[in-house]
């Protein structure tokens, strides 16, 4: 018996238990839709049956409406559906088309999902269209002429164009499947004679009741929403975060699943659902780039045809069919159009870009302070320390364990951390312990009837960390408001402190629920609407994080919130950071972290990271060091570890490991001004902080083959992920010169290289022509660097760069209290030009922050200047090196007496 257990155990710990999670085949709406797509594909007739056709096409300003008639058989037809197309502008030009298809006549009231995701982003700017009849359809063209949609009438089909080039076709394969309600409990009879009404006719089983893993789901009948979209001349399709797969979406036996779940020890290279879901794709096309957002938070599946990634089908369990087409023309434009609809990201506090140290669990305030002291002792900067579950009193969130975290000691700890500008994060999960009549937090939600309910109206109880728990009904605005109040410093922790929040388990995780989450037939009171959980599932984690952010703003309106979430949906970038959940300490997970974070970045959620050096298990020293060396290039860099893993603070493993990690972290801090500039360009312009290798070199088809192992940080730095062993295959894209970041005297052209792996770092290269702004003085924390001057490093001549500076913590930047300078180096001069990120908002006030430049490092100058002058003044400079093979020269200008925030120039003579 004992032997048997030992045999099973390794399997349990090494892989997810897939039988706990449904496949498409085990999910009635997906299974019947898949059958429907096969049925439609194999029909021989010129016109498929059933067929949708458009009629009564009307245009009014930016809106187009039509009736979509659903015919089956010779003459039979169903009640028509209402199609609406609305054209909007983004970044002062056309490019966003909203598509809705509804059965019920519109009530004029927007859906819960639109109220949550789209409306808070602000009103969309209508873009008037002109209609023109063409053979078999009508074309709607924006006034500028650049964006156009051709509506084909029979069969119904939409073709999306930009500058006359076809980007996408909706319903090209006629898979549109809008399952209409069937009144009364239809018998699960065999398929009726004649063509099917919809997919429910092909497989009428389990429309009303469906079982999985001993759970029974009572369903409201057929509600599936399926469609197909084809992408013209696709080079790569990306998005659909979060899946532990390659960056480029491709064909798996299973479709990609979108259903937020707590998947313990997830597997890589399977399209299973994970903790978050962003139903948004971007297609990189020879004709440009375009995107598609399916704004639906119910369970979804997306099948992608990999042979050319041109075809896809999508099925959602229920809810409105609301799509957004983004017309590019560039990948950046698509992302900005996505942010126009879902809102711009929340600007993080500068400290959030520093180092985060976490573990499940630091067990006492003294433990926390000792870790903090050790970071000082070993000269490693640190900004955030994290407390997992065990700091609470029996997993009651918003409380402290009276034995291990007595309040006086907590206060001493907070003072001690905050003194060196370090911050604390505590975990706050959405399940509230139900079996303690003295737990006021749970009582509050129970008494106000603000918890998720069973279909019978009783409170739903699920099992989670503390035991039987209730789940606040985050769909309810009132529940979110109550949750926000809990963050009041007077209640938690009792007085103001630099204390931030981590929302875990917010899929939500329900240990004894179907697929470890809420039963789909539980009830939410979303304002005056009552919705089933199935209709909003993928938004639960979004709302938890939103309510926590509101809590931070309520208690400290002048400070930027920082809340990390595990679960997310489209638009979660408005709230804060996310991470890739419970990964594992092995090389596969390290490798897959790169495409996972790139995918998040291309879905608008740049501020994300993977747990370094793997949550589950104990990394060996090579993996440990390599993961830190990679982790410093994640936008969100947090070390975290499971309860059962061994302690792994950087000093545990001796001086060799310590020095490698220290030098990695110091590199991160040296580049903080660059990271902060990237964060600002993300939050204020919608640019991704990290980007695929092909992002800036779409014409380089070879680059696409390296998308999982390389990534850009901003537009200048290219990082090659490490592998175990002595060397890696390196690809430097495009047609330019590249500087080795670690040894800038080494320059090489674009191309493929077998690159030896250096012990102290992973390969990082800087594209010639870029200037990076840095801070060279190592300090204890980012806060301790605030008074330090800057160093500008330019790689190659000519070169350009940008820098963003503000106070790092308040909302004053929204009133224009920031510096955004452009740096340009040409053959005669180096210039700084004060610029702006948003001309409309810019006010006169400038932040009172350090802005001096203490040093200019100019690498690869084409000739040695005799003199460098600033006005009348001659500047002091030294020649650092003169590489033998070239005539180029590296020089350093000492104390140029320049400051950001004003225009300046220095000249070479």
Partner 1 sequence: MRWTLLGALVGSPAAMIRGVAPEMQGQYAQGLRCNGQEVAASAINDNYCDCEDGSDEPGTGACSGQEGTLFHCANVGSTPRLVYASRVGDGICDCCDGSDEDHQVTAAKCSNTCKEEGERSRAEREAKLKDLRAGLQVKTETISQAKQQKQEKEAEIHRIDQELPALETKLTELRQKKEEADAEKMQAECKTELPRLRQRVKELEEKVASLEKDLVAGDGTTTTTTKKVVSEYAKWMEGADAAMEEDMADEDDGVESPTAPAPAPPESENPSEDPLEKELKEMESQVKSHKAQLDLMDLMDLMIPKGFDRLPLVPLVPLDSKSRLKKELDELPEDKLGFASLRDKCLEYKTSEYTYKLCFFQDAKQSHTRLGQWERFTSPTEAIFKNGEMCGALGALKMWSC
Please name the residue ranges forming H helices in 378-505: 407-419, 440-447, 477-485
In the complex, what is the shortest distance from the CB of residue 905 to partner 1, in angstroms, rounded to a whole number?
21
Residues 409-428 that bind partner 1 (CB under 8 A): 419-421
Beta bridge partners of 71: 51, 77
User: How distant, in Å, are the alpha carbons of 394, 451, 459, 480, 664 from that of 471?
Assistant: 17, 5, 9, 12, 41
Rounded-to-integer distance, Cα 532 and Cα 423, Å: 39
794 close to 832: Cβ distance less than 8 angstroms: no
Q: Of 63, 448, 729, 779, which lies in the binding site for partner 1, with binding defined by CB under 8 A?
A: 779
Partner residues linked to 63 by β-bridges: 60, 86
807 lies in the site for partner 1, by CB under 8 A: no
CB atoms within 10 A of CB 160: 24
Ordered strands of the 462-464 beta sheet: 432-433, 467-470, 462-464
Q: Between 439 and 478, how does the x/- string for binding to partner 1 read (CB under 8 A)? A: ----------------------------------------
- C-alpha 221/C-alpha 243 separation (Å) is 29
Q: How far is the CB of 497 from partner 1 (least distance, A)?
A: 17
Q: Which residue has the tokens 């056309």?
A: 94
Q: Determine, following the binding rule CB under 8 A, whether residue 854 of this chain makes contact with partner 1.
A: yes
User: 851: which residues sit within 8 A by CB, 6+ positions away?
Assistant: 790, 805, 819, 899, 900, 901
The Cα 619–Cα 621 span in angstroms is 6
By CB under 8 A, residue 812 contacts partner 1? no
Distance CA 766, CA 737 (A): 9
Give how far Cα 300 sits from Cα of 31, 316, 402, Å.
12, 4, 44
Minimum distance from residue 403 beta carbon to partner 1 (Å): 13
Kindly tell me which of 419 and 815 has the beta carbon lying closer to partner 1: 419
The one among 786, 812, 838, 880 contacting partner 1 by CB under 8 A: 786
DSSP state for residue 379 in the 8-state scheme: T
User: Which residue in the list 383, 429, 504, 806 is annotated as catalytic?
Assistant: 504
Q: How many whole angstroms separate alpha carbon 351 and alpha carbon 357? A: 13
Name the one range near partner 1 by CB under 8 A: 201-209, 258-266, 349-357, 778-786. 778-786
Contact between 584 and partner 1 (CB under 8 A)? no
From the list 12-20, 119-127, 137-145, 771-779, the region that binds partner 1 by CB under 8 A is 771-779
Residue of 759, 591, 761 whose CA lies nearest to 670: 761
Among the candidate windows 339-347, 621-629, 715-723, 786-794, which touches partner 1 by CB under 8 A? 786-794
Q: In terms of DSSP bridges, do strands 93-102 and 321-326 run parallel, antiparallel, or are they unpaired?
A: antiparallel
CA-to-CA distance for 565 and 581, rounded, in angstroms? 9
Task: Specify whether the CB–CB gap between 581 and 264 falls below 8 A.
Answer: no
∠ CA 186-191-193, rounded to 5°: 115
Contact call for residue 895 and partner 1 (CB under 8 A): yes
Which among 809, 273, 227 is positioned nearest to 500, based on CA atoms? 809
Residue 760 interacts with partner 1 (CB under 8 A): yes or no: no
Contact between 880 and partner 1 (CB under 8 A)?
no
- The token duo for 370 is 């000792």
367 is an interface residue for partner 1 by CB under 8 A: yes
Is 870 an interacting residue with respect to partner 1 (CB under 8 A)?
no
Among 508, 604, 673, 783, binds partner 1 (CB under 8 A): 783
Residue span binding partner 1 (CB under 8 A) among the ranges 249-257, 359-367, 463-471, 473-481: 359-367
Closest separation in Å from C-beta 789 to partner 1 = 8
Residue 496 lies near partner 1 (rule: CB under 8 A): no
Least distance from partner 1 to the Cβ atom of residue 656, Å: 18
Q: On the CB side of 511, how many CA atoms lie within 13 Å of its CA?
A: 8
Contact between 218 and partner 1 by CB under 8 A: the answer reads no
Contacts of 459 (CB under 8 A, 6+ apart): 434, 446, 451, 452, 453, 470
Region from 291-299, 302-310, 711-719, 780-788 binding partner 1, contact rule CB under 8 A: 780-788
The residue (of 552 and 780) whose beta carbon lies closer to partner 1 is 780
Measured over the CA atoms of residue 109, residue 111, residue 116 and residue 120, the dihedral's sign is negative
| Cβ neighbours of residue 672 closer than 8 Å, sequence gap 6 or more | 350, 353, 354, 775, 782, 785
498 near partner 1, rule: CB under 8 A: no
| Nearer CB in complex with partner 1: 26/374 | 374
Reduce the DSSP state of residue 695 to 3 states and report it: coil
* Cβ distance to partner 1 smaller for residue 759 or 894: 894
Q: Which residues pair with 526 in a beta bridge?
A: 529
Closest distance of CB 363 from partner 1, Å: 5
3-state secondary structure of 826: coil
**364 lies in the binding site for partner 1 (CB under 8 A):** yes
Q: What dihedral do alpha carbons 895, 897, 903, 907 form, nearest 10°?
A: -60
> Is 807 assigned a catalytic role?
no
Q: Which is nearer to partner 1, 811 or 855 (CB)?
A: 855
Pick out residues in 249-308 that bind partner 1 (CB under 8 A).
none
Position 582 contacts partner 1 (CB under 8 A): no
Under the binding rule (CB under 8 A), the answer on residue 406 touching partner 1 is no
Cβ distance to partner 1 smaller for residue 377 or 841: 377
Q: Which is nearer to partner 1, 437 or 848 (CB)?
A: 848
CB of 663 to partner 1, least distance (A): 11
Q: Which is nearer to partner 1, 404 or 523 (CB)?
A: 404
- Residue 779 beta carbon to partner 1: minimum distance, rounded to whole angstroms: 5
DSSP state of 801: E
Binding of residue 503 to partner 1 (CB under 8 A): no
Segment contacting partner 1 by CB under 8 A, of 150-158, 267-275, 677-685, 783-791: 783-791
Nearer to partner 1, 789 or 883 (CB): 789
Tell which positions 26-85 bind partner 1, by CB under 8 A. Answer: none
**598 — phi, psi (to 5°)?**
-65, -40
Token pair, residue 602, equals 């291309």
| Residue 497 sits in the site that holds partner 1 (CB under 8 A) | no
Among residues 34 and 780, whose Cβ is nearest to partner 1? 780
Work out the number of other CB atoms within 10 angstroms of the CB of residue 258. Answer: 29
Residue 468 CA to residue 396 CA, distance in Å, equals: 12
Rule CB under 8 A: is residue 788 a binding residue for partner 1?
Answer: yes
DSSP state of 345: P
Q: How far apart are CA 340 and CA 91, in angstroms?
A: 8
Q: Out of 373, 759, 777, 841, which residue is the one contacting partner 1 (CB under 8 A)?
A: 777
Q: Where are the alpha helices (DSSP H) in 448-512?
A: 477-485
Q: Which x/- pattern over 634-653 shows residues binding partner 1 (rule: CB under 8 A)?
A: -------------x------
Among residues 78, 306, 363, 834, the one that binds partner 1 under rule CB under 8 A: 363
Q: Which is nearer to partner 1, 220 or 789 (CB)?
A: 789
Total residues contacting partner 1 (rule CB under 8 A)?
Answer: 24
CB of 447 to partner 1, least distance (A): 38
Among 748, 841, 863, 894, binds partner 1 (CB under 8 A): 894
Binding mask 374-403 for partner 1 (x = CB under 8 A): -----x------------------------
Task: Determine which one of 198, 383, 388, 582 is catalytic.
Answer: 582
Q: What tokens were used for 12?
A: 């349990």
For residue 504, indicate whether it is catalytic: yes
Beta bridge partner(s), residue 85: 64, 99
Q: Does 855 bind partner 1 (CB under 8 A)?
A: yes
Structure tokens at 317: 């369990």
Q: Mind telling me the catalytic residues?
A: 504, 582
**Interface positions with partner 1 (CB under 8 A):** 363-364, 367, 379, 419-421, 647, 666, 777-780, 783-789, 854-855, 894-895
């Amino acid at each position: 018996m004992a032997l048997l257990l030992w045999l099973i155990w390794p399997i349990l710990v090494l892989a997810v238990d897939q039988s706990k999670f449904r496949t498409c085949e085990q999910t009635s709406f997906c299974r019947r839709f898949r059958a429907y797509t096969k049925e439609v594909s194999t029909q021989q007739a010129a016109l498929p049956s059933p067929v949708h056709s458009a009629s009564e096409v009307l245009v009014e300003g930016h809106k187009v409406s039509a009736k979509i008639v659903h015919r089956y058989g010779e003459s039979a037809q169903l009640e028509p559906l209402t199609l609406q197309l609305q054209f909007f502008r983004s970044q002062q030009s056309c490019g966003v088309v909203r598509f809705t298809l509804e059965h019920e006549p519109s009530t004029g009231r927007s859906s819960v999902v639109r109220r949550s995701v789209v409306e808070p982003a602000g009103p969309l700017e209508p873009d008037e269209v002109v209609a023109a009849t063409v053979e078999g359809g009508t074309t709607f063209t924006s006034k500028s002429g650049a964006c156009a949609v051709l509506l084909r009438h029979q069969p119904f089909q939409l073709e999306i164009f930009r500058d006359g080039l076809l980007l996408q076709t909706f319903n090209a394969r006629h898979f549109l499947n809008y399952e209409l309600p069937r009144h009364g409990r239809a018998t699960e009879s065999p398929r009726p004679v004649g063509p099917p009404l919809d997919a429910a006719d092909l497989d009428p089983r389990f429309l009303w009741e469906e079982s999985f893993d001993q759970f029974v789901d009572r369903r409201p009948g057929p509600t599936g929403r399926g469609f197909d979209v084809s992408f013209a001349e696709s080079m790569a399709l990306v998005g659909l975060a979060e899946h532990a797969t390659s960056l480029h979406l491709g064909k798996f036996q299973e479709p990609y699943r979108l259903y937020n779940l707590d998947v313990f020890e997830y597997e890589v290279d399977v399209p299973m659902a994970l903790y978050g879901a962003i139903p948004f794709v971007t297609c990189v096309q020879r004709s440009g780039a375009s995107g598609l957002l399916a704004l639906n938070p119910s369970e979804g599946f997306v099948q992608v045809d990999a042979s050319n990634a041109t075809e896809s089908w999508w099925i959602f369990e229920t809810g409105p069919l609301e799509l957004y087409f983004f017309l590019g023309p560039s990948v950046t434009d698509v992302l900005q159009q996505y942010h126009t609809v879902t809102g711009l990201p929340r600007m993080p506090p500068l400290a959030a870009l520093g180092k985060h140290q976490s573990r499940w669990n630091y067990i006492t305030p003294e433990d926390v302070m000792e870790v903090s002291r050790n970071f000082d002792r070993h000269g490693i900067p640190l900004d955030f320390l994290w407390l997992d579950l065990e700091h609470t009193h029996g997993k009651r969130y918003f409380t402290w364990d009276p034995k291990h975290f007595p309040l006086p000691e907590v206060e001493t700890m907070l003072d001690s951390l905050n003194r060196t500008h370090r911050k604390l994060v505590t975990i706050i999960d959405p399940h509230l312990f139900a079996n303690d009549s003295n737990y006021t937090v749970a009582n509050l939600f129970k008494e106000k009837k603000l918890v998720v309910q069973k279909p019978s109206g009783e409170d739903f109880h699920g099992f989670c960390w503390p035991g039987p728990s209730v789940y606040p009904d985050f769909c309810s605005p009132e529940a979110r408001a109550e949750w926000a109040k809990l963050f009041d410093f007077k209640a938690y922790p009792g007085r103001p402190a630099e204390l931030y929040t981590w929302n875990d388990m917010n899929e939500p995780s329900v240990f004894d629920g179907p697929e470890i989450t809420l039963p789909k037939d539980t009830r939410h009171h979303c304002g005056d609407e009552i919705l089933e959980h199935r209709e909003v599932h993928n938004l639960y984690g979004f709302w938890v994080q939103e309510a926590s952010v509101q809590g931070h703003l309520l208690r400290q309106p002048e400070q930027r919130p920082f809340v990390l979430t595990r679960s997310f949906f489209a638009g979660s970038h408005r709230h804060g950071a996310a991470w890739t959940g419970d990964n594992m300490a092995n090389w596969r997970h390290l490798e897959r972290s790169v495409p996972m974070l790139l995918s998040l970045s291309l879905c608008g959620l740049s501020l994300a990271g993977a747990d370094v050096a793997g949550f589950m298990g104990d990394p060996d020293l090579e993996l440990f060091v390599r993961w830190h060396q990679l982790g410093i290039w994640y936008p969100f860099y947090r070390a975290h570890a499971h309860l059962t893993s061994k302690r792994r603070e950087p000093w545990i493993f001796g001086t060799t490991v310590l020095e490698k990690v220290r030098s990695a972290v110091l590199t991160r801090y040296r580049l903080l001004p660059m990271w902060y500039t990237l964060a600002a360009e993300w939050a204020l312009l919608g640019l991704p902080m990290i980007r695929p290798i092909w992002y800036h070199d779409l014409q380089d088809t070879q680059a696409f083959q390296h998308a999982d192992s390389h990534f850009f940080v901003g537009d200048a730095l290219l990082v090659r992920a490490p592998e175990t062993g002595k060397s890696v295959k390196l690809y430097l894209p495009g047609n330019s010169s590249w500087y080795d970041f670690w040894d800038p005297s080494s320059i090489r052209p674009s191309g493929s290289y077998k690159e030896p792996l250096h012990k102290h770092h992973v390969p990082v290269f800087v594209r010639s022509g870029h200037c990076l702004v840095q801070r060279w003085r190592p300090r204890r924390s980012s806060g301790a660097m605030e008074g330090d001057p800057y160093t500008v490093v330019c790689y190659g001549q000519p070169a350009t760069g940008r820098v963003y500076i503000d106070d790092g913590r308040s909302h004053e930047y929204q009133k224009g209290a920031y510096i955004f300078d452009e740096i340009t180096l040409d053959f005669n001069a180096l210039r700084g030009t004060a610029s702006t990120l948003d001309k409309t908002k810019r006010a006169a006030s400038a932040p009172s922050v350090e802005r001096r430049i203490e040093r200019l490092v100019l690498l690869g100058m084409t000739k040695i200047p005799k003199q460098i002058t600033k006005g009348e003044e001659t500047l002091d400079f030294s020649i650092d090196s003169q590489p033998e093979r070239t005539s180029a020269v590296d020089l350093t200008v000492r104390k140029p007496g320049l400051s950001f925030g004003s225009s300046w120039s220095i000249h070479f003579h």
